[in-house]
Chain A
């Protein structure tokens, strides 16, 4: 069970939320000029990263607001929660941490 902090209601169980897929997928600027393949990319194709993933959630059984969650798809850690009008927070990724450790002579 994930414990997600709603930006308005605070920490609540995952069961109170509704998942909304990948965040930051902008509507095409010139939709009329898109080919079928580009439309398919926009509508159906989503990232599936191993690591940090920004996704949308809705507090459907609470305040019924959408917001964004930065979650680690490996450990399921909820790394950050931010409102729709806030930018994605910059967090060091696993790879960055790994490289830092290697540069310091660690991870051998």
Chain B
């Protein structure tokens, strides 16, 4: 079979395939509605920039000015400004998630860092984004996440690196529905999506109430 020829105008971006494009149909079909509803969707090609800089440095202050938001200084915290959300990855490491175009965000941050020690790397292709949403979303995650996701300790606006099943993810709670966004590595995304589809399947069945 002949390789598809690259359209001269569109460039390589038109050729990219998201890590979960082959499961899009199954994810749509697996959606559960109602009081125990839960849906799974992929948000492909979200801009992600890994940022490393000493938190007390002038470079960090310049980057905060560029992003128009402070860098979170504590595990689990996120800060948001316009199209950007910054998640804490480590004491001197952050992940900038953005709706803006990746080369522009990377260039802006790199200019803010200047020649100071640190790094700004476009890692958009490193992970993909899965959105798990619905009243039963927390129960689905609790089947394989060691963290306490109860509202008393986890809430919208918090993002932590942890595991779901055996897969390492950055887990970010977006709202009270609850809606979670999971960021697994692209190569683990297929496994995680199938794991979640399996975990979701019980909620489409009838509710069995055991009388005691």
Q: Are A61 and B162 in contact (CB under 8 A)?
A: yes
Q: Are A63 and B89 in contact (CB under 8 A)?
A: yes
Please, which residue of chain A has its CB at the minimum distance from the CB of B166? A15
Say yes or no for A20: interface residue by CB 8 A criterion: no
Contacting residue for A9 out of B93, B160, B163, B168, CB 8 A: B160
Please, which residue of chain B has its CB at the minimum distance from the CB of A60? B168
Say yes or no for B114: interface residue by CB 8 A criterion: no
Contacts of B24 in A (CB 8 A): none
Say yes or no for B18: interface residue by CB 8 A criterion: no
Q: Which of A1-24 contact B (CB under 8 A)?
A: 6, 8-10, 12-13, 15-16
Q: Are A15 and B160 in contact (CB under 8 A)?
A: no
Where the two chains meet, the residues of A that have a C-beta atom closer than 8 Å to any C-beta of B are 6, 8-10, 12-13, 15-16, 61-65
Closest beta carbon of chain B to A41's beta carbon, Å:
34
Where the two chains meet, the residues of B that have a C-beta atom closer than 8 Å to any C-beta of A are 75-76, 89-91, 93, 146-147, 160-163, 168
Q: Are A16 and B146 in contact (CB under 8 A)?
A: yes
Please, which residue of chain B has its CB at the minimum distance from the CB of A83? B91
- Which 3 residue pairs of A and B lie closest in terms of their CB atoms, listed nearest first? A63-B90, A13-B146, A9-B75
Additional 11 contacts, C-beta under 8 A, given A12-B147, A13-B146, A63-B91: A10-B75, A12-B162, A15-B163, A16-B146, A61-B162, A61-B168, A62-B160, A62-B162, A63-B75, A63-B89, A64-B93
Q: Are A8 and B146 in contact (CB under 8 A)?
A: no
Contacts of B168 in A (CB 8 A): 61
Q: Within the assembled complex, what's the spacing in Å between the Cα atoms of A8 and B161?
A: 12
Closest beta carbon of chain B to A11's beta carbon, Å:
10
Please, which residue of chain B has its CB at the minimum distance from the CB of A10? B75
Please, which residue of chain B has its CB at the minimum distance from the CB of A13? B146
Closest beta carbon of chain B to A78's beta carbon, Å:
16
Closest beta carbon of chain B to A57's beta carbon, Å:
15
Contacts of B75 in A (CB 8 A): 6, 8-10, 62-63
Q: Within the assembled complex, what's the spacing in Å between the Cα atoms of A12 and B148?
A: 10
Q: Within the assembled complex, what's the spacing in Å between the Cα atoms of A9 and B163?
A: 14
Interface centre among A9, A13, A15 (most CB of B within 10 A): A9
Question: Could you list 23 A-B pairs, sorted by A, with CB under 8 Å?
Answer: A6-B75, A8-B75, A8-B90, A9-B76, A9-B160, A9-B161, A10-B75, A12-B146, A12-B162, A13-B146, A15-B163, A16-B163, A61-B162, A61-B163, A61-B168, A62-B161, A62-B162, A63-B75, A63-B89, A63-B90, A64-B93, A65-B90, A65-B91
Contacts of A13 in B (CB 8 A): 146
Q: Within the assembled complex, what's the spacing in Å between the Cα atoms of A16 and B163?
A: 8
Contacts of B89 in A (CB 8 A): 63-64
Q: Within the assembled complex, what's the spacing in Å between the Cα atoms of A10 and B168?
A: 17
Q: Within the assembled complex, what's the spacing in Å between the Cα atoms of A64 and B50?
A: 14
Q: Within the assembled complex, what's the spacing in Å between the Cα atoms of A10 and B158?
A: 14
Q: Within the assembled complex, what's the spacing in Å between the Cα atoms of A52 and B162?
A: 29
Q: Within the assembled complex, what's the spacing in Å between the Cα atoms of A4 and B198?
A: 30
